[in-house]
Structure 1
Amino acid sequence: MNVLKKEHIAKQTTCARCGICCEKGGPAFHGCDRPILESGRIVLADLYTLRKGEPVFDNVANRPDTAPTDILKIRSANGMSACLFYQRADRSCGVYADRPLECRVLECWNPDGMAAIYQEDRLARKDLISGLSDLWEMVLAHEEVCAYARLSQSVKEKNWEAVAYCIRYDFQVRRLMVEKGNMDDRLFDFLFGMPLTVTLQRYGLSPQQIRNMVEG
């Protein structure tokens, strides 16, 4: 951020609708946001899960970290970084009346509000689907095999056979849920997190290395 931008923010007291925060991605959900999802205004297919232990970037602390719990976030639009509901043409929000807590408290000129709630009462997959026993059991089974604590250790030890097994398991679960369960594949990033073929690149693995493991 250059000096002029810092000075601008220092003098700012209201949202200028510059769109920068929305361009960086969607918000995470907290317990008080549950009614938004239950109303259907934002649906599970609009979300993705950062799973416990997954390498992430902490925007408040401004440093790499690992997710301490599930973090449910609004997905990005068309492979871009911007929030799915950000309307670039007029820099508006498609769900403004039902925007989550993080959007409501975010003030780029005063980060204290966001910092205060950032880690608090985060909504998790369990909160939303544990009552659907068959589906929740699938999520738990996937988590047991593909837990990031296990993946991180396997990468650290260069146990590529174990890493490859997780990648293939993750891939097959998603495929079978479509073929056998007729499930909308837009739900998978919420149910199982982002594909391991994508997230393992954060450990320094190249796309080609990952493809080789998938193909075995």
Structure 2
Amino acid sequence: MKDNNVKGRLEILTPQGLENSDKPQKMRLNKRTSCIRCGKCCSESSPSLMKADISLFISGVLSHDNTYTIRYGERVRSNVDDNIYESFIELIKIKNKEGTSICIFYKDNEGCSIYENRPSQCRAYKCWSPENLINGLEKNALKRSDIFGSIDLLMDVIGKHEEKCSYAKLSDAFDRLAEGIEDAVEDIIDMLQYDTYIRPFLKEKFNVPSTAMDLILGKPLIDTINAFGFKVEINGEEYTLSPIEPIKEMEGKK
């Protein structure tokens, strides 16, 4: 009787075949235990910052030019499995190169340009054993209050912004929209307008740099709202909310 499970029982052999014996030698797999600076981790995502990394802001290695905030409840797409998840905590991350998942500090053929001053998560990450990367994240993650806690004005702005247009409120509004509750659209538009107008207001009234907005307030809702399956078109002061067409449906119309 032919054994259909033979393939599953075969051992991996060395490509050299016979070596000082009439039997093939088993392949020896050496597990890597140190960083070889291949750049893979830098290309898949930028690091989330820890409280210990506040020193990098103090020294000027990091600033509002190269960091941004993921707010609590924000929907983000995973680079690992391409699924969308809600962030269970507030995170501050280093920016990626525009349109990519590559850390802004990574340079081709050179590696990390701030390697000697790299963030805690980069130092702790082991690509050959990444299972424990998330350990301690909830307790030790750097937050906006760690950076701006002594600036009452900015903390008031952040608090008001969260009160008016948190992702919890936005998610609830979209749930109500799915149930056909008409005033949900108005609530969503109100949040979009507040989030849009507060940014130039901070710049004009208090000279807050435009490059600091994504750190202080997180990414604009008009950009992140597509994670809810909708897009926004702005014409003057008029906002139009419409569902994103599935790719297959769009292709069928071509």
> TM-score interval w.r.t. the shorter chain?
0.7 to 0.9
Q: Which moved more, 1:24-33 or 1:145-154?
A: 24-33
Shift of 1:28: 0.4
Larger radius of gyration: 2
Using the alignment, how far apart are the partners of 1:59 and 1:118 within structure 2?
Answer: 18
Say whether residues 1:198 and 2:217 are aligned partners.
no
8 Å CA contact 1:102–1:118 kept in 2: the answer is no
Say whether residues 1:182 and 2:202 are aligned partners.
no
Identity of aligned residues (%): 30
The structure whose residues are more often strand, as a share, is 2
Unaligned runs of 5+ in 1: 1-8
Using the alignment, how far apart are the partners of 1:197 and 1:191 within structure 2?
Answer: 16
Shift of 1:16: 3.2
Amino acid at match of 1:66: E
Amino acid at match of 1:75: K
Write out aligned runs for 1:47-126 (5 A): 47-57=67-77, 64-88=84-108, 90-126=109-145
Per-residue deviation, residues 67-124 of structure 1 (Å, max 9, x unmatched): 2221000011233321110112x14111111111111111111113414344441110
Amino acid at match of 1:142: H
Shift of 1:15: 2.4
Per-residue deviation, residues 159-201 of structure 1 (Å, max 9, x unmatched): 1111111111111001112222222100000000011011110
TM-aligned CA distance change 1:23 to 1:61, over 3 Å = closer
Q: Which moved more, 1:128-137 or 1:76-85?
A: 76-85
Per-residue deviation, residues 114-163 of structure 1 (Å, max 9, x unmatched): 14344441110011102101111111111111100000000111111111
Report SS of the residue matched to 2:76. strand
Amino acid at match of 1:199: T
TM-aligned CA distance change 1:10 to 1:115, over 3 Å = farther
8 Å CA contact 2:173–2:185 kept in 1: the answer is yes
Unaligned runs of 5+ in 2: 1-28, 178-183, 240-254
TM-aligned CA distance change 1:115 to 1:176, over 3 Å = closer
Amino acid at match of 1:188: M
Using the alignment, how far apart are the partners of 2:65 and 2:155 within structure 1?
Answer: 16
Shift of 1:65: 2.6
